[in-house]
Chains A and B, each alone.
Chain A
């Protein structure tokens, strides 16, 4: 399956390159290329079609699919943008790229009327993810945040903290495992930053230029991670588990707990009707009793490339694509959470997402990953230092982590 996708992606990339080399970008109706991760439900292409129709022949939006893996999406985009590729008009940006793309001058700032449209009625955390140095750089489109999923037939109530969850899981014996993401990739970084924020710490200080990583919360976070990975509650494949492997394992009934994104809900309804009956949800477990957890916010914002021949049209098109009606469509068809606050009160959305209130309260307390152009290096520094989780030694790794992040911040040295 993956190889088919990869081959497809390669074919598409090659044809795009060939097309890009051969085409003159001046057409009767301007085509706006929207580079965005493939969206299987068709919600994105429907939005693109509708916006093109509503524009009254002003523009036509073409979707250009990017690879499924976020790292590979970024690799392709930064390569093209660094080379000033003018075939890109609108970019589906992971929330963690805002600072980097803005600082490098690859995307245009939003101002005036389209900026107002992009901000209209948005939840605060997704909006903040599109802002860098007090300037809006993208239109918040979809958002994402992890919840705790658990088996109501095995435990009566969701555990409130990680410590409690590990204890309960161990007492359940063979089926008591907790599914989490421990592979060496962004997911491990997200896990660490969220647990750190729940402990009251942060990676960088308020300025975003200097390291924070206070000793007490960091050590607390590292020891919780080590304890979890070495307990019977962790699965043996933790070091290579990503979101999807965790979902599959939970759907097979082998685990009682899982921290994962809401996409697991529609998936379980399709693939594991027996499990769904006993599937409960709760907020991501806290680190400190009585102090609500804070998970990092994910999602997709739409930016406008600095190299587009049609900047004005691209801003209009991006504002149209991210409008509330298209967010509703993406939420209902594609399982992508909206960034417009009012949508969480709509009956249709609440029917699709019975956990809408938990989502909203989680989003209200969500934490941003470090908003710095060097985020990618920092993330690598974190995931490399802390992988595999079972080998974490809090005291030693606290020093290693600080050193790795310092080096990343100075953009010196290998990661």
Chain B
């Protein structure tokens, strides 16, 4: 039995090896180079003043109110958009899963926002909320200048994110729904469980791995949000996110040392999120396997 298990494991690693190697070749060098750069004072405008400064860049970022402000913004955006997407994604997934007519058309229609280039979608939203030419104010009978105040700007950014990525969430959840065996549902019906009970007691537990994957992917994406904010506000009105901060430091100010340090911190943030998720819900992943 044990022999069989270790054979299985070896085969698993062998099957993964090409992908792992490719990933390492493509990503390891840039990541290590960024780590290396982040230990230097290196500003492209003063190329001759390059100097090793150890962890000073990190100290300067972590003691700066700008960083914590941006991190707070990013977390607000991440948590609010992902949780709302999960709430909206479930009904969408159920609809897509249960449609009897034009199944393909329904799925395609749902996926249109996700298929759009983010920059284009963000521009469309920007125009929609423009106080002079946009239709939103006319529709609501308001005279709000949406993108000039922090909370209304945040609202527009979150709405754009939700509109754009809920379909992705729904797609992953729908894949999870197909994992639920039909006879289990039937059995629950026979036992007298109503629709809500069936959903909470049977469908959701069996779907846990799919939900975890969907939420994890979206959280990681949302944590690195860049293009939507870049188009809508450029980070003004206190809507700057960590990725925008990295862009401004690295690309706009050409401060390679500091910019790399910001990227490394974002990378660490992504790692922490992944570890938390996998540790927090890890059990459910293996449970999913056992249930089969």
Question: B-contacting residues of A (Cβ < 8 Å)?
Answer: 2-3, 6, 71, 74-75, 78-79, 82, 100, 103-105, 183-185, 236-237, 239-240, 248, 373-374, 376-377, 380, 387-388, 411-415
Contacts and interface: CB of A to CB of B under 8 A. Distances in A.
Contact of A240 (B41, B147, B248): B147
Contact of A237 (B41, B145, B255): B145
A239 B234 contact: no
Contacts of B61: 413-414
A387 B252 CA distance: 19
Interface in B154-182: none
Shortest Cβ-Cβ A-B pairs, 3 listed: A414-B66, A184-B236, A3-B123
Contacts of B255: 411
Given A79-B251, A237-B145, A376-B253, A3 B236 contact: no
A8 B131 CA distance: 26
22 contacts: A2-B123, A3-B123, A71-B252, A103-B45, A103-B46, A104-B46, A105-B47, A185-B234, A237-B131, A373-B46, A376-B253, A380-B248, A411-B41, A411-B253, A412-B41, A412-B258, A413-B61, A413-B64, A414-B245, A414-B258, A414-B262, A415-B66
A100 B45 contact: yes
Q: Which of A82, A380, A412 has the most CB of B within 10 A?
A: A412
Contacts of B47: 104-105
B67 interface: yes
B120 A3 contact: yes
A82 B236 contact: no
Contacts of B262: 414
Interface string B99-111: 0000000000000
B44 A104 contact: yes
B249 interface: yes
A165 to B, nearest CB: 23
Contact of B64 (A6, A183, A237, A414): A414
A404 B258 CA distance: 16
Contacts of A411: 41, 43, 45-46, 253, 255
Nearest to A387: B236
A104 B45 contact: yes
Contacts of A75: 251-252
B145 A415 contact: no
Nearest to A238: B148
A132 to B, nearest CB: 13
B60 interface: yes
Interface string B204-229: 00000000000000000000000000
Contacts, number: 77
B148 A415 contact: no
Contacts of B41: 411-412
B45 A374 contact: yes
| Interface of A, helix, strand, loop or mixed by DSSP | helix
| Interface of B, helix, strand, loop or mixed by DSSP | helix
A79 B254 CA distance: 8
Given A184-B236, A376-B252, A414-B258, A82 B131 contact: no
Interface in B224-248: 234, 236-237, 245, 248
A2 B120 CA distance: 11
Contacts of A185: 234
Contacts of B119: 6
B248 to A, nearest CB: 7
Contacts of A380: 248, 252-253
Nearest to A372: B45
Q: Which of A79, A239, A240 has the most CB of B within 10 A?
A: A240
Nearest to B259: A414
Contacts of B254: 78, 82
Given A376-B252, A412-B258, A414-B60, 7 more contacts: A71-B252, A236-B145, A237-B145, A240-B147, A374-B45, A413-B66, A415-B248
Contacts of A413: 60-61, 64, 66, 258
B60 A412 contact: yes
Interface in B46-94: 46-47, 60-61, 64, 66-67
B66 to A, nearest CB: 4
A227 B213 CA distance: 53
A32 to B, nearest CB: 25
A264 to B, nearest CB: 18
Nearest to A105: B47
A82 B44 contact: yes
A46 B141 CA distance: 49
A237 B43 contact: no
B208 to A, nearest CB: 39
Nearest to B44: A82
A388 B148 contact: yes
A35 B145 CA distance: 36
Contacts of A79: 251
A76 to B, nearest CB: 10
A380 B45 CA distance: 16
A397 B48 CA distance: 34
Contacts of B64: 413-414
B253 A415 contact: yes
A237 B148 contact: yes
Interface string B22-50: 00000000000000000001011111000
A119 B245 CA distance: 40
A78 B250 CA distance: 11
Contacts of A373: 45-46
A248 B130 CA distance: 14
A119 to B, nearest CB: 26
